[in-house]
Amino acid sequence: MKDYYVIIDCDPGIDDAMAIMNAVNSENIEVKLISTVSGNLTIEETMKNALKLTEIFKVDIPVSEGAREPIKRQPVYAGLAQGTKGMGGYTFKTPKTKPFILKSPDAIHFFLNENPAKNTTILCMGPMTNIANLLKKYPEAKDLISRIVFMGGSKDEDGSTVPYREFNVAYDPEAMQIVFDSHIPLVMVPMELGHIAYFTPEEQQKIKRANSVGEIFYKMFTKYNDYHVGKLGAAVHDSCSALFLSNPEIFRTEQAFLKIDYYKKDNTEYGYIKCDFGAKEPNATVCVDVEIEKFKKIIYGNLFNYN
């Protein structure tokens, strides 16, 4: 029984790749579209990676091309952390799979209307640009979305080792503001979850030994220098948002009021999500912890589907 009719919006991206593998192997998730956005890399690279991932994961899911830059500011790519092509040390030839005929946000709008129950969940694992463009072009789309589960933002206001607090929000804070203004129910899966959800070098060896898909992830991880956890291993931030959909029971959540705020550093303005966990009128659910052993066991289980 598929509980969720899901549209994924992402910028693959190594942790996006691991998250997509989990989502498409989850019993209670039906992924209807993989929409791509620029973020970790250019839209050309994130599209190519997403098309290739559907071939690796042996799924026939449409992949649509989305926004090539933020709605207002200039793009600043996070490619360094994800390798020059966004797949770390894994290289591949141009995928054979063709993009979906529609581009996002039209592709997202098409599948929102395809869902007879009009209760689609959007799993957003990159900048919110496509969702903002959807809401600008089709304001009524907000009534077709039951909730947006997004990897983005940070629960605490310090601890970031790079100028921005969290990449997805910093890349396009104006898009995040448009999503807040829509009042669509939100679940935020912040960067701190990736400080818990990371694979150590020993665990990466276990992934490598699993099968050919595990070997591909191992190659991706070989060049995945995640700023948040340093040399400790590969932080799989996006998988936290995907597993919140498939296995919400392993997460602890709190209610908070979220809003976009800005600060200046070295003459550059950065946007981030300010969280008020004591707010009388919260506007979002925030994941604050995860049972990491169960988290990893679920991922290994999904990976072993390819044995």
Q: Which stretch binds ligand RIB (CB under 6 A): 9-17, 22-30, 67-75, 264-272?
A: 9-17
Q: Is 126 in the site for ligand RIB (CB under 6 A)?
A: yes
Q: Is 15 in the site for ligand RIB (CB under 6 A)?
A: yes
228 counts as catalytic:
no
Q: Is 237 in the site for ligand RIB (CB under 6 A)?
A: yes
Residue 51 phi, psi dihedral angles, 5° rounding: -60, -45
User: Applying CB under 6 A, which of residues 46, 122, 238, 288 lies at the interface with ligand RIB?
Assistant: 238
Handedness of CA 252, 258, 263, 269 (dihedral sign): positive
Which residue, 140 or 156, is less far from ligand RIB as judged by CB?
Answer: 156
Q: Which stretch binds ligand RIB (CB under 6 A): 11-19, 111-119, 202-210, 285-293?
A: 11-19
Q: Which does residue 192 touch among ligand RIB, Ca ion, none (CB within 5 to 8 A, set by kind)?
A: none
**Shortest Cβ distance from residue 123 to ligand RIB (Å)?**
11
Q: Is 129 in the site for ligand RIB (CB under 6 A)?
A: no
Q: Is 11 in the site for ligand RIB (CB under 6 A)?
A: yes
User: Applying CB under 6 A, which of residues 18, 151, 179, 234 lies at the interface with ligand RIB?
Assistant: 151
Q: Is 70 in the site for ligand RIB (CB under 6 A)?
A: no
| Chain residues that interact with ligand RIB, rule: CB under 6 A | 11, 13, 15-16, 39-40, 78, 125-126, 151, 166-168, 191, 237-238
The set of catalytic residues is 237
